[in-house]
Structure 1
Amino acid sequence: MLSCPDPVTDLWKTGIHPLDPIFAPRSVAVIGATERPGSVGRTVLWNLISHPFGGTVYPINPKRRNVLGIQAFDRIASLPEAPDLAIIAIPASGVPEVVQDCVDAGVKGAIILSAGFKETGAEGIELERQIKAIAQGRLRLIGPNCLGIQNPLTGLNATFASQVARRGNVGFISQSGALCTSILDWSLRENVGFSAFISLGSMLDVGWGDLIDYLGDDPHTHSIVIYMESIGDARAFLSAAREVALSKPIIVIKAGRTEAAAQAAASHTGSLTGSDAVLDAAFRRCGVLRVDHIEELFDTAEVLAKQPRPRGDRLSIITNAGGPGVLATDALIRAGGTLAELSAASAEALNGALPAHWSHHNPIDILGDAEPARFAQALKTILADPDSDGCLVVLTPQAMTDPTKTAQAVVDTWRASGSTQPILASWMGGAEVDEGEDILNRAGIPTYRYPDQAARLFGLLWQHSYALKGLYETPALTTNHGIDRATVATILQVAQTEKRDLLTETESKAVLAAYGIPVVPTQIAATVEEAIAAADTIGYPVVLKLYSHTLTHKTDVGGVQLNLDSSHAVARAFDRILTSVTEKAGAEHFQGVTVQPMIRVDGYELILGSSQDPQFGPVLVFGTGGQLVEVFQDSAIALPPLNSTLARRLMENTLIYKALQGVRGRQAIDLDALEQLLVQFSQLVAEQPAIESIDINPLLASPNGLLSLDARVILRSQDGSSLASSSIPLA
């Protein structure tokens, strides 16, 4: 065994946490320690003893009396004490027995570096099942198939990486060990430091939720960045992220957006990646910022740590060259931001301070001969402008430009202003601007080599700020007044008794109406005579639709007849539907027709629905509806339940939202009423776990009101094969 010097006096964690034995161990056993060059066991042991962490190291090798000059032991039970942490680096087949030894010895934490588990198939899955059963409630595990962990604050290097992370305030978690080593190498070059550096592997036990919770409590961690391939326990992730994101930014790059990438991730981790669109919705719901590029992970973490969050999406750009301002503008708009409009006061101030030929609009081109004082005056004006939510200062090195003095002028102006706007800088060039960049960075102003990169970062900052507002704003959910749960229970019970998974259109509309969602009046008719009588009662013109216990897509079998203005038209339509359904599907699928008024309202056809996601449970969808819903593909996704704030954001994430506010002379619809309808619908979805999916298409939205013209409800299969068990509580 080898005892290392005392750890740093400021221990990483205080108090007792189940993961403390892994991240702040007083003793570590290396199971599979060896002197074989290039082996994982040798590398891990060497890393532990060559980077003292303040604890004792025990090599475990039944065939050797010492390893690398340190006394070795044949098994965990032979040690003079129960180590806090066991690092397991042996073939997968032997891991269950070793985990049992660890549990018996009282070890509290383990890292399984070994590969060869669920990613290899049935045999590996069985090994994982055994390990989980042995460790359950007694031993916390990281891995398997991981690189290990580093705690730069204590010096612990429990990995087989060749380098050690610098100390810093970023907590980094990755499912990919190879990506960890690449990030580690990059971070040393870029002088990025970490409070924790974690390779998570296949998440047999410790998952995202555990680590986000742990780093959220760590005072040394200011931001958390994540490389994710699969989410694992979605409930644990969302619960932890939602709480921690209020105080520390969580930035994620999630692989597997495309089908091919998702398949590659699944083969790598052995885990389902889940629907990418649903994952996006989940991230927004819990305040997690998703980025698409690795460099954005750390750029975003840096700027969130250094600068305040923007109040809005309006960016002011100050530049001494027109071209970079245009590039920044393009990137800003693509990232969801907008150019700030100069206030009258700002325009007047700039006219008095700048040459006559300045741009007179944003981007604010102060011309190529701008000296530091001109930059400072423009920045002072913008930082005082209430119509600006952030500022980007761009400098290109020209013959008349002093990048170093200009940087100092920017810093001095920013500090003197007391502004709460975030400020970013792009000092374009190479060696000539290095000193100026250093001045800005030391002052806490993030710098970027290119202005479009900085503008994208502002867009990400605004996205993050906007998402967090949804966490802080928690208006009450809709009241229960008027909800007729008894009717819904009766309808569902009848269908289940009849062993039907599909509700009829009439039943589906009754379920919606029970939750206060307006539906078009509908009568059932089993015969021509009943159809004519119903039409006479409703009033012409009417619509006839197939009434079936088994068919969902009526149009596909000729089951819809529109604009019927007489009893003769109704009779002919009834016969046409019966004949068409019989020919295309079979007479057994025809139980009659429904008769409804023909709605002649000029409005927008929307779609509102729900489905079950394997990981997140019920998911809501809203967007442009009608027969061309698949063509337009304009929809947004959210997780239930919704409150008014979240319902409005669901609408805002669609293209149709702008039209609903009134365009080209058309009146706006009642957006508050639509917002309330979305809340009521989400409550229905959250409260009725027997429902597998709901499809309202179209939901007609007009200045006269909202009306569900067609609806379909499918129940969960009664054989128990439904996708997800329940919604995740996020309210």
Structure 2
Amino acid sequence: MSTTERSELDPSHDIFHARRHPLDYIFDPKSVAVIGASERAGSVGRTLLWNLIRNPFGGTVYPINPKRPNVLGIRAYPNIEAVPEQVDLAVIVTPAPTVPGVVSQCIEAGVKGAIIISAGFKELGPEGAELEQRILEQVHRSSMRLIGPNCLGVMNPRSGLNATFAGSMALPGNVALVSQSGALCTAILDFSLRDNVGFSAFVSIGSMLDVDWGDLIQYLGDDPHTNAIVLYMESIGIARDFLSAAREVALTKPIIVIKAGRTEAAAKAAASHTGSLAGSDEVFSAAVRRTGVVRVETIEDLFNIAEVAAKQPSPKGPRLTIVTNAGGPGVLATDRLISSGGELAELSDETRKALDELLPPHWSRGNPIDILGDADPLRYAKALKIAADDPNSDGLLVILTPQDMTDPTMTAETLKEHAHIPGKPVLASWMGGVDVAAGVDILNRAGVSTFDYPDAAARAFTYLWQRSYNLRAIYETPRVGHADTSVLLERRARAEEIIGAAREQGRTLLTEAESKRLLAAYDIPVVETLVATDVDEAVAHADHIGYPVVLKLHSETITHKTDVGGVVLNVHSADEVRENFEGIRESVTQLAGAEHFDGVTVQPMLQFSDAYELIIGSSLDAQFGPVLLFGTGGSLVEVYKDRSLGLPPLNGTLAIRMMEQTKVFRALEGVRGRSPIDIGEIQRVLVRFSDLIVDQPWIKESDINPLLVSSDRVVAVDGRFVLHDPSTSEEELSKPVIRPYPMKYAGTAKLRDGTEVKLRPIRPDDEPLLVQFHEGLSDDSVRMRFFQPLKLSRRVRHERLSRVCFNDYDRELALVAIVGDENPEVIGIGRLAKLHHARVAELSMMVSDGWQRQGLGSLLLERVIPFAKDEQLEGIVATILRDNIAMQKIAQRAGFTLKNDLESPVVEAYLSLREN
């Protein structure tokens, strides 16, 4: 069965009948009604109508005004029902209190799309929010999609549609702009006309009552005229939709975002180290790293990076080679490169030798490569070619300053041949004005992105590298795999027992001993911790552990033990145990109250000469749910603030990426003669901690501080977990914004010959198993699946398999069938992928040749259908080759309807999931 994209299916009529994407009615309408059209000078209704009629878009415009027979010479209609033809798009500019009724009339008239320009909604308070709720209730009972309210409108410069009240029409181009600020849209529009910048779409998204970031990113990602997407964002909206769509689209099209409000701090969790370190803006940055979206700081960067990313390949590394005819600009570029996270490429011996033969004796002999002020076009071209061939270089920046001997135009002409180097972006900074203008134009037309200043070019390169780095993290096959499903379920059950016991007692704080049992349930190594409720028990525990020991307050209510004198280190004898037990009791009684003292814990005093103190923690973000923290730990954790944030769930690769964001990571690799730490073990701890936070939604905040790590040991010395209040309902619990591994679809079954097979959702670390799977497929099986011969080398490319293994479980589910424990083997795969513009999923399946006719196809189909039902999809569609009789029978047995067109080489199959 095929996974090729298809048009949307309309199950309510002919299940194989294609129809338009719902947003097509907004971006490419055949008829537009302006509800609130006016002839009053300066009114929004007049400007909108005028913009629509003076920019022909190939459709009909209908003014709606109950008080006038015509507007601007065009026949007007009293309401939407009176329009003589079906209206695709309604643009609403009436006062806010009238809008719910207008929307209701549009729905009754069968309007497919609407843009609410009107303001006066939730931005004005509760009354406006109530109006929005009434509109949303109307939209939800229909298939109409709506942009706004409180927006500038929508332009499609390629068709000529200008459904905005802006003063000008954008130029056509290949960059889509989506902005939450209408005022910023008009400013960008003015700037774009001055600088001849074009757009494939120009969208003011407004309050996002219906259509949001995820909808538009997905739609523009499918648009063949859009090469890059730029976003101006003030609020995230539905975070899961945004991240899911952005992750899918960013792999093939660059998405650049600028978000206002960088300095706004998140609400602090006063009792949590993690909460006090994690601000909402940092969480947003961590979130976009999980998608491959590039976040920039200035509007200038927003368009610079979009242009570069659309023209040039992404670099494979952070190393830039700079070729310049002046030393100063090269130094400025270097400063910006290093400060923004890039590196200067180290010239290879071969490169130095080649440049020695080309350049005058007093060239810079390093990077930046200063080819001197008298460089002619040929010297530039040869130097660039040599630099490009250096394997140490990931990209090139060519700087030209106009000197007496310089020919900016001819140099640009000469460099055109080197405008596109596979895997290496080429950027240019022709510094100057009139003298370099012709050369700049030549380079731009050749596909080289040009910059007025070299430091801006260097910054652009680091943004390109950031995009590559983030995408690699998402789609790199993890070296550390997840545990087997049975192990994961066992861990979850042990943890739920510990948390459940505390909740039954009405507690929101786990004791240190309970916290360490919880960590141990997920195979996170912890220091031995024994609870003593009286002094004699404390002495017995210390004698058992061996001196020296650590005594810590044991309390069900106090979270930070050091604040009440609740920690004593280096206790060397039984007498010291007795003395310090009483000392802790007295201190807690004096500072907090006797009721907060429940005894002490006794732990061995760990002493590692080469140890580092780390912190791993979690807190909740209002928009993104659980957030993870990793960094330098210990008592000064808030002072150092060396940390990185990430979103669960993590795999091994993502865990390493979190660690790489911190300063302490370099120390962990080994510095100044100190032995390196076992990074792999820290990586495993971070992944297991992530699993714990995902599995246990009753955890509100937590930290392991310190996680003590040395060259031969990693151990959690202290742990702390705060639970949600017992009055919290399960519906109120925060969920991960990235859908975690769906273990509910895992299970076992038996084939016809009795072989037991595991069926479970695919994981990123399954990629090697899929390579083996494809190696065993016959040519006929390949043809049945892909409808054509497809070489093994293409089928097992990482770029292809990573898209299969790295499921976004919001959008797709691939189940693998596995036999064998010690040497597991994938013998089949079934996959459902939601279509972008319908509540329908497309099915594909493949079974290994040696395991066919054992009922595996039916098993896979039986197990993926519940996913479609859980997602409330309307149906499942599949395309089957005409001679694939076996798959047709499997589909029919499962209830699929087959459409058999004798003139077609394929059979269409559809399963309706609608309730009767």
TM-score (norm 1): 0.95
Structure 1: runs of 5 or more not aligned: 1-13, 263-272
> Are 1:640 and 2:648 an aligned pair?
yes
Structure 2: runs of 5 or more not aligned: 1-17, 268-277, 741-805, 807-916
1:60-86 Cα shifts (integer Å, max 9, x gaps): 111111111111111112221331111
1:247-304 Cα shifts (integer Å, max 9, x gaps): 1010000111012999xxxxxxxxxx98111110110001100000101111111111
What is the 5 A alignment of 1:224-239?
Answer: 224-239=229-244
Distance (Å, rounded) in 2 between the aligned partners of 1:126 and 1:352 = 76
Alignment correspondent of 1:119: 123
| Letter of the structure 2 residue corresponding to residue 303 of structure 1 | V
Q: Indicate which of 623, 626, 629 corresponds to 2:631.
A: 623
Instruction: Tell which deviates more after alignment, 68-77 or 143-152.
Output: 68-77
What is the deviation of 1:413?
Answer: 4.4
Alignment correspondent of 2:312: 307
Alignment correspondent of 2:855: none
1:655/1:383 CA distance change after superposition, 3 Å: same
Work out whether residues 697 and 733 of structure 2, in 8 Å CA contact, stay in contact via their aligned partners in 1. Answer: no
Distance (Å, rounded) in 2 between the aligned partners of 1:474 and 1:289 = 22
Q: Indicate which of 49, 54, 62 corresponds to 2:53.
A: 49
Q: How many aligned positions are there?
A: 706
Alignment correspondent of 1:650: 658
| Letter of the structure 2 residue corresponding to residue 305 of structure 1 | A
SS at 2:681 equivalent: helix
Work out whether residues 614 and 723 of structure 1, in 8 Å CA contact, stay in contact via their aligned partners in 2. Answer: no
What is the deviation of 1:484?
Answer: 2.9
Distance (Å, rounded) in 2 between the aligned partners of 1:724 and 1:106 = 38
1:109-160 Cα shifts (integer Å, max 9, x gaps): 1111111111111111111111111111412110011000001111110000
SS at 1:461 equivalent: helix
What is the deviation of 1:601?
Answer: 1.2
Alignment correspondent of 1:156: 161
Distance (Å, rounded) in 1 between the aligned partners of 2:418 and 2:597 = 77
What is the 5 A alignment of 1:605-624?
Answer: 605-624=613-632
Instruction: Tell which deviates more after alignment, 102-111 or 178-187.
Output: 102-111
Work out whether residues 209 and 237 of structure 1, in 8 Å CA contact, stay in contact via their aligned partners in 2. Answer: yes
> Are 1:493 and 2:497 an aligned pair?
no
Q: Indicate which of 739, 758, 767 corresponds to 1:729.
A: 739
1:458/1:99 CA distance change after superposition, 3 Å: same
| Letter of the structure 1 residue corresponding to residue 716 of structure 2 | S
Work out whether residues 339 and 362 of structure 1, in 8 Å CA contact, stay in contact via their aligned partners in 2. Answer: yes
Alignment correspondent of 1:8: none
What is the deviation of 1:677?
Answer: 1.2
> Are 1:326 and 2:331 an aligned pair?
yes
What is the deviation of 1:720?
Answer: 1.9
Alignment correspondent of 1:466: 469
What is the 5 A alignment of 1:264-283?
Answer: 275-283=280-288
SS at 1:101 equivalent: helix
| Letter of the structure 2 residue corresponding to residue 75 of structure 1 | N
Distance (Å, rounded) in 1 between the aligned partners of 2:477 and 2:674 = 33
Alignment correspondent of 2:448: 445
Work out whether residues 526 and 593 of structure 1, in 8 Å CA contact, stay in contact via their aligned partners in 2. Answer: yes
SS at 1:144 equivalent: coil
Distance (Å, rounded) in 2 between the aligned partners of 1:210 and 1:36 = 35
What is the 5 A alignment of 1:463-542?
Answer: 463-475=466-478, 477-480=481-484, 481=487, 484-542=491-549
Alignment correspondent of 1:146: 151
Distance (Å, rounded) in 2 between the aligned partners of 1:727 and 1:438 = 45
Q: Indicate which of 647, 661, 666 corresponds to 2:674.
A: 666
Alignment correspondent of 1:577: 584
Work out whether residues 697 and 734 of structure 2, in 8 Å CA contact, stay in contact via their aligned partners in 1. Answer: no
What is the deviation of 1:590?
Answer: 1.0
Work out whether residues 419 and 448 of structure 2, in 8 Å CA contact, stay in contact via their aligned partners in 1. Answer: no
Distance (Å, rounded) in 1 between the aligned partners of 2:79 and 2:306 = 43
TM-score (norm 2): 0.76
1:364/1:152 CA distance change after superposition, 3 Å: same
> Are 1:679 and 2:683 an aligned pair?
no
Work out whether residues 383 and 419 of structure 1, in 8 Å CA contact, stay in contact via their aligned partners in 2. Answer: no
What is the deviation of 1:723?
Answer: 6.2
1:274/1:184 CA distance change after superposition, 3 Å: farther
Distance (Å, rounded) in 1 between the aligned partners of 2:216 and 2:164 = 17
Work out whether residues 686 and 727 of structure 1, in 8 Å CA contact, stay in contact via their aligned partners in 2. Answer: no
SS at 1:484 equivalent: helix
What is the deviation of 1:728?
Answer: 2.2
Aligned-pair identity in percent equals 62
What is the deviation of 1:699?
Answer: 0.5
Alignment correspondent of 1:215: 220
Distance (Å, rounded) in 2 between the aligned partners of 1:652 and 1:261 = 24
1:387-410 Cα shifts (integer Å, max 9, x gaps): 111111111111111111111122
Alignment correspondent of 1:381: 386
Q: Indicate which of 698, 706, 709 corresponds to 2:706.
A: 698
Alignment correspondent of 2:604: 597
Distance (Å, rounded) in 1 between the aligned partners of 2:540 and 2:207 = 64
What is the deviation of 1:472?
Answer: 2.3
1:442-479 Cα shifts (integer Å, max 9, x gaps): 11111111111111111111001111112322437411
Alignment correspondent of 1:3: none
Q: Indicate which of 81, 92, 104 corresponds to 1:100.
A: 104
Distance (Å, rounded) in 2 between the aligned partners of 1:155 and 1:414 = 32
Work out whether residues 264 and 280 of structure 2, in 8 Å CA contact, stay in contact via their aligned partners in 1. Answer: no
| Letter of the structure 1 residue corresponding to residue 35 of structure 2 | I
Alignment correspondent of 2:42: 38
Work out whether residues 617 and 728 of structure 1, in 8 Å CA contact, stay in contact via their aligned partners in 2. Answer: no
Alignment correspondent of 1:201: 206
1:196-234 Cα shifts (integer Å, max 9, x gaps): 000000111110000001001111111100000001000
> Are 1:364 and 2:369 an aligned pair?
yes
> Are 1:336 and 2:341 an aligned pair?
yes
1:99/1:443 CA distance change after superposition, 3 Å: same
What is the deviation of 1:727?
Answer: 4.3
1:288-347 Cα shifts (integer Å, max 9, x gaps): 000001011111111111111111111111111110110000010012110001100000
Work out whether residues 47 and 165 of structure 2, in 8 Å CA contact, stay in contact via their aligned partners in 1. Answer: yes
Alignment correspondent of 2:773: none
| Letter of the structure 2 residue corresponding to residue 185 of structure 1 | D
1:480-526 Cα shifts (integer Å, max 9, x gaps): 44753332121111111101111111111111001010000000000
Distance (Å, rounded) in 2 between the aligned partners of 1:137 and 1:679 = 42
Distance (Å, rounded) in 2 between the aligned partners of 1:477 and 1:108 = 47
> Are 1:454 and 2:457 an aligned pair?
yes
Query: Aligned-residue CA RMSD in angstroms?
Result: 1.6
Alignment correspondent of 1:89: 93
Work out whether residues 612 and 723 of structure 1, in 8 Å CA contact, stay in contact via their aligned partners in 2. Answer: no
Alignment correspondent of 2:427: 424
What is the deviation of 1:619?
Answer: 0.8
1:686-719 Cα shifts (integer Å, max 9, x gaps): 1111211121001001112111010001112222
1:405-428 Cα shifts (integer Å, max 9, x gaps): 11112223456xx54321111111
| Letter of the structure 2 residue corresponding to residue 663 of structure 1 | V
